[in-house]
Amino acid sequence: MARKLFGTDGIRGTANHHPMTCEVALQLGYAAGAMFGNGRARSRVVIGKDTRLSGYMLEPALTAGFVAAGMDVTLLGPMPTPAVAYLVPSLRCELGVMISASHNAFADNGIKLFGPDGFKLSDEIEEDIERRMAGSPALAHGTDLGRVDRLEGALGRYVEALKSTFPRELTLQGLKLVVDSAHGAAYRVAPQILWELGAEVVEIGAAPDGFNINDGCGSTSPTLLRQKVIGEGADLGIALDGDADRVVMVDETGQLVDGDQLIALIARYWHQHGRLNGKGVVCTQMSNLGLERFLADLGLEAVRTRVGDRYVVEAMREGGFNVGGEQSGHIILGDYATTGDGLLAALQALAVMVEQGRRFSEVSRAFTPLPQRMRNLKVPQKPDLARPEIADVIAKGEERLNGHGRLLVRPSGTEPVVRVMVEAEDETLLVAVLDEVSDGLTAAI
């Protein structure tokens, strides 16, 4: 059975439209509750959410489904996705749920699931959940219904866990940092962690109202952060997305430092200190060729996967790697976390800067990236890239590059778009191929 509800990162869509409805959330609670509760007494699920208005709708629907299936529910309130992943095994839960559409606009929402080990569920388990959702719900007996409580101090647990990853002998004292929480799930925790580690913190994107999440701020819109860093004379800036599982940073000159550069920075430092496992890192098809060449110069391998942090994590676990991530800022540090954690990655980058006593611009430019551009083409539905007319457009683009660059065409797993990425040393060739392939695909789709 092919998955119809689950994409590359859970279930996602426009709130109050299929599949982001109360009915689907309730069915998901029934199915996942029966599957993970499995009739065990006092089995438990934790539920976190970001700051979207629709979280108030989806949270009780999921809760009702889990309770009806016999699972106890612990509500966390607004909480970063990596915090939910951390708390699942910490609290000995069978399941974790995050209600978030990550970097998407407020009108969207999503549901991500984590297993008892804190890792995202496999494709096979998600398919099993969908099969259960299509059938009659397996409801608990009336005397075996679950209970609901709220975990007070959940944020404090996550704060202490993250602070423990920062070297004890170091401090952020004397640094002025700007942090943009995207009006999202980390609006309280991000400034708190940085301040408790000693920094002077300037907050932006920290006043959520249910509608402004990711709106002109956060990791996908870092212009405001760049301006604030320069205007405040700050040492650097940190931009998270709506659920804080990704990060980009800005140096003291206002220059953007993306996920590829952060991966290179952390991987080199860990390699130099004998901490890098697997003799390389895991990245995706979108990662810049400059990162791959940089790692090769260090004698390290760049293992590429499909786009999506879950696929990065799978490759890391299979190959014994402890550093991986995406250019977009999903960075997974396996020594500390089971999923992408923007704050964790920022702290590790800060540790390198502080220990070396250098400016962020001096430590964060590990390699010179090849020119790379991406274009998003809106589509009514996910296209079949193997269709002859589409495959022909892609083949002509690759022929035009003639081995002097890379072309990647992929449907997004979270939005109704097809992403076209072209990378080449010759920027004139890059632009020409990007235009030709984009125009050809628009006509073919």
Residues found in the chain: 445
**CB atoms closer than 10 angstroms to residue 357:** 8
State the Cα angle at 247 between 242 and 248, rounded to 5°: 125
Active-site residue, selected from the candidate residues 102, 181, 287, 438 = 102
Cβ of 429: how many Cβ atoms within 10 Å?
17
Closest by alpha carbon to 68, among 98, 39, 33, 20? 33
Tell me, yes or no, if 102 is annotated catalytic: yes
CA distance 319 to 300: 13
Q: Which residues are catalytic?
A: 102
